[in-house]
Chain A
Amino acid sequence: MKTILVFTFLLGLVCGKSFLWAQEMKFGKYTSEEFELTDVPFEPGSDAVVLAESNTSFFPNVQLHSEIHRRIKVLRESGKSHGDILLRYYEGQDGIEDIQRLRAQVVNMEDGIEKVTKLTKDDFFKVDAGDGYKEIRFTFPELKEGSIFEYSYTKIDKSILFIDGWVFQNDIPTLKSSYSLDIPEFLDYRTLGQGAKVITANYRQGPKGYYVWNLTDLRSVKAEPYMNHFADYLEKVQFQLAGYKSQSTNALGQTESGYEKMFSTWQELADFFKERKAFSSYTKPDKNTIKSLPITDNTGKTKAEILQQAYQYITTNLVHSGEGGIVPEQTLKEILANKKGSRAEINLTLMALLKASDIEAHPVFISSKGNGRSNLISFPFADQFNHLMLVASTDDKLYYIDACNPNRPLGFLPLDFHVNDGFLIMESESGLMPVALEHRSGITQYIDIKVSPDSGLLRAATLRLIDYDAVRYGDISKEESLESFKKEIITDPEEDVLAFNATIKEMGSRHTLETAISSKQPLALEDNLFIRPFSINRWTENPFTADARTFPVDFNYTLTDRYTANITIPEGYELDDYPENIALTIPDGTLSFSYQTIAMDQKVQVNLQFAVKQSFVAAENYPNLKYFMDILTSKLKEPLVLQRIQALTSADGVLP
């Protein structure tokens, strides 16, 4: 039976509708407001602004046509750099995308007259960007403060299963950004919006199948510290084909109409991937390939031990090519021979090995941080995923696994994989599952501080970095990793390190980096001794210096630090002064800090606790977070003061 998409009889209607919804912005027609604009009220001091941009998308045939038009004004001299334009598209081998009808011009108001300079074909340079991508590059001449330049083109896309849609924000502020999509009656798309303005907009104003967003006053997007990528927070909209009407001819030559659904359930989406040849070579390997898997004699071993052994084998014997992705290109047989592969291929190889060893394991697709989506869409939208990891189950525990880094222990994921949900792929019952990473990250520190007449201030510290705080330093048995760790821990150049012993220990399900450090520091022999209890700490400076923030702060994982210092007061001295006790939290409760000093005879104990209870802090809470960190870092610099209560002995320079 032959199935075709029915386009032709609807062609006229589709074209007609697109004209009904013509753009407001006409190429080459400028308003007096545009010439008069000198600043952006919601982002003063911007060097350029997108006055308006629009994307009018429709289907004149089986291809998607997007008429894109962007108009920019230079507000300050530095804004001229925005006149260098690069249009990138995927041509592939079959001309998947193409750009046509490109035109561009700049207008300058000179003595009240519009002086227009048009770019010609010779000004547009087409280059091969590799891997099937092409670029059209051009630059605008005669740019100066006040110049308005614009360009428009039609992008033609043969691939209509997923529609890229539109990102409403730019690296400069945008006054107006419009997107419309006119979907013919025989196609059915799901809409995937992100961002408050996109979601709350009244985008279904026209006839059925017509979507339009007219967003205004959109802030520029720029990277901020303590986040993965602003792409996760952009105002944008995408589409995925949900179904289409079809016609078929039956055996009697009669025409029958039908409706084909695309990925209406998570299981359908899972099956779509599983049925691909390379993918199925991992989920259902043939007997010969199974024989070539490195299965050892597991008699007497627990499932956890078998899992650990398989993980170790894969991480040390397969080389990660650096590529991510969710779809394998190599088959299981090929990667076992080649020993190098993408993340999907390596993790699926581990899955095949685990299954052959009777351990349940399944692929999980995720959208890692920075992939452009802060939360997964709750229906089967394939284009949102960019990495494949595994979930494996032993008798009592669920493991989330990425086997691409031999320095990362089993059960720990790259920090950008710390997401809320993933798409679990199974034979049946595939669907979204929470990615609940069980860990107890943090730093525990016990430190004994003594004053020695000969050596000054002596510190003996035991440091335990737990889980992700230990993992971040990698394999410290390697000299480079150890040195890097040491350099980060010992920050006071005055501190003379006498011993530094660091070892990785697995304590139950905890991965720890245990470090014993002894050090001495010169101490001036004066009436008052000033001692800072914690020379080793997570925060030597407040990392947050900007006074406002656009995007949430992302600590990547929750943690709890507990520091205890025991200071022995030397003979002839007493505790005179110490940092005042404090306990604070920021209003949303995501961070807390306490600092307490307890005096006991000739000893003083200082206890500090710091916790990040949620890895995200909302942008509106940023001022509180910044002040919180100012207080915390300041408190860590406050000293205890030991005061002399006996006069010096005759042996000047020696403590009695």
Chain B
Amino acid sequence: MTSFTWSFFSTLGALLVWTNATCQVVVPAYSSLEKHMKVTLLEDYSYLVDIRQTTIVLDAKGLDHGSYSIDIDQFTKIEHFEARIIDPKSGKTLRRIRSKDLSERATIGEGSIIEDSKINYFTVDNLPVPLKVEVELQIKREGNFNLPKWYPNSYYFQKITESSFEVAYPESIGLRYKEKLVTANAATDALPGWQKLWWEVRDLAPLDRKTEKEELPFVALAPIKFSMEGFAATMDSWQSFGKWFNHLNQGRDEIPDETKRQVIALTEGLSDDFEKIDVIYKYLQKNYRYVSIQLGIGGWRSMKASDVVAMKYGDCKGLSLLMKALLKEVGIPADYTLVLAGDDKEPIDVDFPSNQFNHVILRVPLPSDTLWLECTSTTLPTGYLGSFTKNRPVLVITEDGGLIDRTPSYAASEFHKSQLRLQVDLLESGDAKIVGKSRYWGEPAEIFGSLIYQLSEKEQKDFLNAKLGGRGLNLSSFEIVVSQERNVPTAEISFEGFVARFSQNTAKRVIVPLSWNKLPIEDLKNTQWEYEETIEITTDNPLVFEGEPPFWDVTTPDYQHALETVHEANKLLINKRIKTHLHPDTSEEAEREMLSGIQKEFQRQLTFKK
């Protein structure tokens, strides 16, 4: 589904800079840029992009600022291209580059087999600076589903002398725009029936890589009326935008009779909707795999569900549409849902209906709650989304068109629980034999699904040796059981092994860490969280506690944590409990401080005389 966001990423990837007037550090300028960009929407739903720019490369470190690339797909045609590389001292043209001289390279995203995307480009190498590079370009794109986004700059360490953006559109098509840190000007020279807007910045200082994204000015465009390959609709509301997707995928959710019979047989005897969804989702996970093939309008339109059945693979659109069709067979309606996926993605702008998505999931509204299905995953439990798509606004495509909903955050403590039971046979050397069981619920359990799916036995063992406990662990045996309690993922790891230097021994003392395993506090990114731990340590020779066994039970409005130590001659029992319930508005700093405070309490050591 990469094509969904071609304009978004292709522009953003290369650019990203804006001035910070209060910045005290002088950032060097490796180049300067004068750039004029014009977008003309046409009544046949195509549009033209005209760019004229002059880059003066001032430093050899900025030689790549003189290079240029154009994103091309099936819908894009270069109408005109000419670049000239000029020696600014003599004014002599060193190299002239036309469209036919451009190199070409496919731009296929990781994990994709094939995409209809490539770049045509030239690079500036092995030339002395200063250097002037003039570029003139006109491209024509069929279909105005995606319109370019304008950023004044192209590179870090680049000074902007002037950068302007103009858009002209027929009133019959209409246009909406979103601007940040720049203001639109209305042109007065538009033709009858046309509108024209323009933006301009001048003399922007160069910026370095520390520049925050929020500091970047931009202008985003979206048409009111749009069309791709004969599928026309309006984009002035999410509802109408969603209707277009409905139209695009109409009739593509038909599945073969044999598959229908298979689904009915799979769910025979089940009355609970969740159980039916669970059985069908696991069937999908086991029998179909994610393969990304994005060609032409296939970047937005789903493969036919019947083709997915035949090939036993599909992309996010195809697998989601197939799952929707399978559920439909057992009377469970589900909604095809567009999302901007990614762990570090900003939320979509819900006030600006436009194509802001790169992935498809499925929403399944049930009478008691709503489930969400990630149909490309072979490991996630039924009804649980990973960090890739959780907690963000999404566009649900219903029969009546699109509507904005939000995926769950899984903030409740039932999604953030873990437990450890450990028996330690502490040897005189400080080494120990251990037997234990770790249990996880929700987010902490998520990783174990992928672990047992993807890794060999040795790799699983290596992972557990590094992550399960503290230092020095050598597992001799282990078993990982992954399951779920309704839509909460669970994992249980039973293990046995040897720990080198579980305790530190001095001449007279044995020092036992209060927390041998790594308390998962550092990974905690949630306000509610529960942890329980019981360690039973036995020794051959009796140990004498130096001082009193520690004990505490602390309760604050934000958290509770408690420790109990019970010491008998050859046995030490340590019980820990931690529960957090932070206010959602707690600042990151306050949260970090609080958590490190708890962690410090549990990092103490217990000292025994030999």
Contact = CB atoms under 8 A, between A and B. Distances in A.
A78 B459 CA distance: 14
Given A135-B106, A338-B128, A638 B511 contact: yes
Interface in B92-107: 103-106
Nearest to A172: B456
21 contacts: A43-B458, A45-B455, A125-B114, A129-B105, A142-B311, A143-B312, A144-B286, A318-B60, A319-B63, A329-B126, A338-B128, A339-B129, A340-B60, A546-B465, A548-B458, A577-B506, A577-B507, A579-B504, A580-B506, A633-B471, A633-B501
B475 A128 contact: no
A127 interface: yes
A266 B125 CA distance: 33
Interface string A131-145: 100010111011110
Given A80-B289, A340-B126, A43 B473 contact: no
A338 B127 contact: yes
A410 B162 CA distance: 43
Nearest to A576: B508
A341 B128 CA distance: 11
B546 interface: yes
B270 interface: no
Interface residues of A, number: 66
Residue with the highest number of chain A CB atoms closer than 10 Å, among B118, B286, B501, B596: B501
B328 interface: no
Interface in B102-132: 103-106, 108, 113-114, 118, 125-129
A163 interface: no
Contacts of A545: 462, 465-466, 473
**CB-CB nearest 3 A-B residue pairs:** A130-B105, A634-B501, A45-B457
B453 interface: yes
A504 B108 CA distance: 46
Interface of A: 43-47, 76-78, 80-81, 83-84, 125, 127-131, 135, 137-139, 141-144, 222, 318-319, 321, 329-330, 334-335, 337-341, 493-494, 528, 530, 541-542, 545-548, 576-580, 626-627, 630-631, 633-635, 637-641
B61 interface: yes
A207 B459 CA distance: 44
B277 to A, nearest CB: 20
Contacts of B459: 222
A639 B511 contact: yes
Given A78-B378, A528-B607, A546-B466, 13 more contacts: A44-B457, A45-B455, A45-B460, A77-B286, A128-B106, A130-B103, A318-B60, A319-B60, A321-B125, A334-B126, A339-B60, A340-B63, A547-B475
B505 interface: yes
B40 interface: no
A143 B289 CA distance: 8
Given A329-B126, A580-B506, A634-B501, A46 B456 contact: yes
A128 B505 CA distance: 63
A133 to B, nearest CB: 9
Nearest to A480: B210
A630 B500 contact: yes
Contacts of A77: 286, 378, 453
Contacts of A222: 459
Given A144-B312, A542-B471, A634-B430, A84 B458 contact: no
Contacts of A634: 430, 471-472, 500-501, 504
Nearest to A81: B289
Contacts of B430: 634
Interface in B232-287: 286-287
Interface in B280-313: 286-287, 289, 291, 293, 310-313
Interface in B497-545: 500-501, 504-509, 511
A125 B500 CA distance: 53
B421 interface: no
A229 B453 CA distance: 26
A638 B472 contact: no
A130 B104 CA distance: 6
Contacts, number: 151
B413 interface: no
B437 interface: no
B577 interface: no
Contacts of B500: 626-627, 630-631, 634
Contact of A630 (B63, B103, B471): B471
A307 to B, nearest CB: 24
Nearest to A46: B456
B88 to A, nearest CB: 14
Nearest to A340: B60
B126 A84 contact: no
Contacts of A339: 60, 128-129
Contacts of B387: none
Nearest to A131: B105
B507 A84 contact: no
B61 to A, nearest CB: 5
A47 B454 contact: yes
Contacts of A321: 125
Interface string B441-474: 0000000000001111111111001100001111
Residue with the highest number of chain A CB atoms closer than 10 Å, among B61, B291, B453: B291
Contacts of B104: 128, 130
Contact of A139 (B113, B378, B465, B466): B113
A541 B471 contact: yes
B113 A84 contact: yes
Contact of A127 (B114, B127, B455, B546): B114
A345 to B, nearest CB: 9
Contact of B313 (A128, A139, A631): A139
A631 B459 CA distance: 24
A493 B596 contact: yes
Contacts of B60: 318-319, 338-340
A320 B378 CA distance: 44
B24 to A, nearest CB: 12
B507 A578 contact: yes
Nearest to A124: B114
Interface string B40-82: 0000000000000000000011010000000000000000000
Contacts of A43: 456, 458
Contact of B461 (A83, A337, A547): A547
A338 B531 CA distance: 61
Contacts of A577: 506-509
B506 A547 contact: no
B457 A638 contact: no
Nearest to B506: A577
A578 B506 contact: yes
Residue with the highest number of chain A CB atoms closer than 10 Å, among B105, B430, B472: B472
Contacts of A144: 286-287, 312
Nearest to B474: A547
B128 A337 contact: yes
Contacts of B456: 43-47
B525 to A, nearest CB: 19
Contacts of B114: 125, 127, 137
A125 B114 CA distance: 7
Given A339-B128, A579-B506, A638-B511, A137 B471 contact: no
A639 B546 CA distance: 15
A338 to B, nearest CB: 5
A143 B509 CA distance: 60
A137 B126 CA distance: 33
A355 to B, nearest CB: 23
Given A44-B456, A139-B113, A546 B126 contact: no
Contacts of A78: 378, 453-454
Contacts of A338: 60, 126-129
A638 B505 contact: yes
A592 to B, nearest CB: 18
A139 B291 CA distance: 8
Contacts of B461: 546-547
Nearest to A634: B501
